[in-house]
């Protein structure tokens, strides 16, 4: 009777854990772009399948060691078994570890700069545009203001403000359009002449606000020919949606600009308009229709 063992090396049986691990990695990468919940799900899948994969590998290695190096009963009784590690296993593990560390050092900073801005807050401080009497009903007023007083002229912004009068419930209504074209972000101009003289308003802790009434029934972008109607709906040219709008608040008789939001389409006019609101996105990004599936996450604008 021969005690010789089979000469063939012991190979671990095929496993589905690597496939699950790869799916988890892919899901995590997609989650970095799409949304945080998808990222969490991908991380959990990666962790679970990674642990199961490592467990299978360790089990297979332990079985192989038991088959190839199992001592006889007499030898086992005479000498205690001392765990040993093959040099090739150590070298391969060390190589993988060093490679992973180098990859992390190179990849994580780049990934952070590319992905983190999408998850950062882009809120801006409220801007006091002055008393409601500065905005005659039914007329657009060009409001030039500074978003951040510390940054000076580089933070100069423009909004088109129209007092729509009260709603059916008696609440004041305003249409406030952001002046950036939703094609590539060029400054949109009012299609109409100025009316009267500009008004200046100074509020505490902010730079001067200039208000210029204008007879504007529509707006146009001089860069690429984008055209919008009086409600900010696209009427011609390359823009992909309606002009962005401001939220607003009224306190102590003054009008305050708040967050900017994106708009799909606007039905109706003035105080009775029905607005399709979306999270603020970059120019050129669709927010409704079939095209929105090409941009699964609303990318914050600047």
Counting as low any pLDDT under 50, the low residues of the chain are 1-2, 4-5, 302
Q: What is the pLDDT of residue 178?
A: 95
At 204 the pLDDT is 81
Residue 141 is predicted with a pLDDT of: 94
Q: What is the pLDDT of residue 110?
A: 66
Dist CA 149 CA 161 (whole Å):
21
pLDDT at position 23 is: 85
Decide if 195 contacts 214 (C-beta within 8 A). yes
pLDDT of residue 279: 87
Given this model, what pLDDT does residue 248 score? 93
Domain residue limits, the chain:
17-119, 127-294
The pLDDT value recorded for residue 247 is 93
pLDDT of residue 228: 95
What are the CA-CA distances from residue 126 to residues 140, 161, 250, 281 (Å)? 20, 15, 11, 19
Give the start-end residues of each E strand in the chain: 127-131, 140-146, 156-166, 172-178, 189-190, 199-201, 209-214, 218-220, 227-229, 234-236, 242-251, 254-267, 274-278
pLDDT at 291: 73
The pLDDT value recorded for residue 115 is: 63
Q: How is 33-61 classified by DSSP, letter by letter?
A: HS-HHHHHHHHHHHHHHHHHHHHHHHHHH
Question: According to the model, what pLDDT value does residue 231 have?
Answer: 92
pLDDT digits (tens, 9 = 90+) for 71-80: 555 555 555 6
**Residue 166 forms beta bridges with which residues?**
172
Of 124, 206, 120, 209, residue with least CA distance to 161: 209
CATH topology of domain 127-294: Rieske Iron-sulfur Protein (2.102.10)
């Amino acid at each position: 009777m021969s005690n010789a063992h089979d000469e063939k090396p012991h190979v671990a049986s095929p496993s589905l854990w690597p496939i699950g691990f790869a799916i988890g990695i892919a899901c995590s990468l997609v989650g970095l772009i799409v949304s945080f919940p998808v990222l969490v799900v991908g991380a959990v899948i990666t962790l679970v399948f990674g642990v199961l994969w490592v467990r299978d590998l360790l089990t297979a290695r332990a079985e192989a060691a038991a088959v190839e190096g199992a001592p006889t009963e007499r030898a086992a009784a005479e000498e205690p078994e001392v765990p040993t590690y093959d040099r090739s296993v150590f070298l391969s593990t060390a190589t993988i570890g060093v490679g992973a560390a180098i990859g992390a050092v190179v990849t994580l900073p780049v990934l952070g700069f590319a992905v983190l801005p999408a998850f950062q807050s882009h809120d801006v401080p409220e801007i006091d545009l002055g008393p409601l009497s500065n905005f005659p009903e039914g007329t657009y007023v060009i409001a030039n203001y500074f978003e951040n007083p510390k940054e000076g002229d580089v933070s100069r912004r423009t909004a088109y403000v129209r007092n729509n009068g009260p709603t059916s419930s008696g609440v004041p209504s305003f249409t406030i359009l952001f002046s950036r074209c939703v094609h590539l972000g060029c400054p949109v101009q009012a299609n109409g002449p100025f009316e009267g003289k500009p008004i200046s308003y100074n509020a505490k802790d902010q730079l001067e606000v200039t208000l210029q009434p204008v007879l504007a029934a529509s707006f146009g972008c001089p860069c690429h020919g984008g055209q919008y109607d009086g409600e900010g709906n696209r009427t011609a040219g390359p823009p992909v949606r309606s002009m962005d709008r401001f939220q607003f608040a009224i306190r102590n008789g003054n009008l305050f600009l708040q967050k900017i939001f994106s708009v799909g389409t606007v039905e109706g006019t003035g105080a009775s308009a029905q607005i399709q609101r979306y999270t603020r996105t970059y120019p050129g990004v669709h927010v409704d229709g079939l095209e929105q599936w090409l941009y699964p996450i609303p990318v914050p604008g600047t």
